[in-house]
Amino acid sequence: MIQINFGFFEEASPEEALPFAIEVPVLKVFDGDGFRTKIALCQLTGNPKHHTEKEAIIRCAFIDAPELEQRGGCEARQFLAALIGGRKVWLDIRMKMDTGKIVDRHGRIVAVPYLGDRNIEIEMVLNGWAWVVEKYGPDEIYFEALEIAQKNKRGIWAYEDNVHPWTFKRQKYIDRRASAKTVEQCPAEGCVGGLVKRNGKFGAFYGCSSYPNCRYTRPI
């Protein structure tokens, strides 16, 4: 059962949602850092004549939750759903650095969601269900929340060997490309992955394609 803990951090939200934030419903939570909503075009354009509504995917701006296939991924989704599922939130829409637009390369709107005066991104970090994406320049309070979560071993920080979601996704991509080169099924009990050739600091070896869920290795 997912426990909600508001108020771990008295200043969890450095400010309320900005005056130009827009209010939207949360239709479905996909994972620990994304959800589907419905937005009226006039909310984005500022033109009251644009009455058309469209569904959109919101991607949190400064955090990255574990992938669903990772340890803690499903729990992160459950936690976010318990926070905002079926509610209305305020979106502080941000410009994506690598696209120069309010959407990322997958077409998702990048924003910081607020529930009342609570910054939902910081709640996710504070409760141990998300990393802070440093390269996008979040406020210092994000790192303070992360430090508290790690110190108190909340969420994923109860484990010692967490893998960043971006590292996990990159490894999955590498493994997909190498899948045709799988030499045999992984012999680890209960594993459905295959052995692929990899290179490490001590040279080449065979590793499981299901890493980090399976850490079986064998020298070549």
Q: Are residues 82 and 125 in the same domain?
A: yes
Last residue of a domain, one of 158, 173, 208: 158
Whether 41 and 146 map to the same domain: the answer is yes
Please report the pLDDT score of residue 98 as a whole number: 66
Which residues of the chain are under the pLDDT cut of 70? Answer: 1-20, 42-50, 97-99, 175-183
What confidence score (pLDDT) does residue 2 get? 44
For position 78, what pLDDT does the model report? Answer: 97
Domain boundary among 158, 182, 199: 158
**Residue 208, domain CATH:** 3.30.65
Domain housing 67: 22-158
| Sign of the Cα pseudo-torsion (140, 143, 149, 150, in order) | negative
Is 17 inside a domain boundary?
Answer: no
pLDDT digits (tens, 9 = 90+) for 143-185: 999 999 999 999 999 998 888 888 888 877 776 666 556 668 8
Q: What is the pLDDT of residue 1?
A: 41
Task: Out of 106, 133, 158, pick the residue that ends a domain.
Answer: 158
Same domain, 42 and 108: yes
* Judgement on whether residues 154 and 171 belong to the same structural domain of the protein: no
Residues 79 and 181 in one domain: no
Clarify whether residues 93 and 72 are in a common domain.
yes
- Tell me, yes or no, whether 114 and 205 share the same domain: no
Q: How many domains does the chain have?
A: 2
CB of 197 closer than 8 Å to CB of 220:
yes
In a domain, residue 114? The reply is yes
DSSP characters for 17-48? Answer: PPTT-EEEEEEEEEETTEEEEEEEHHHHH--T
Question: Are residues 132 and 44 both part of a single domain?
Answer: yes
Question: Cα(213)–Cα(210) distance, rounded to whole angstroms?
Answer: 6
Q: Is the residue at 14 inside a domain?
A: no
CATH code at 56?
2.40.50.90
User: What string of H, E and C letters represents the secondary structure of 54-69?
Assistant: EEEEEEECCEECCCCC
Other beta carbons less than 10 A from residue 4's beta carbon? 9
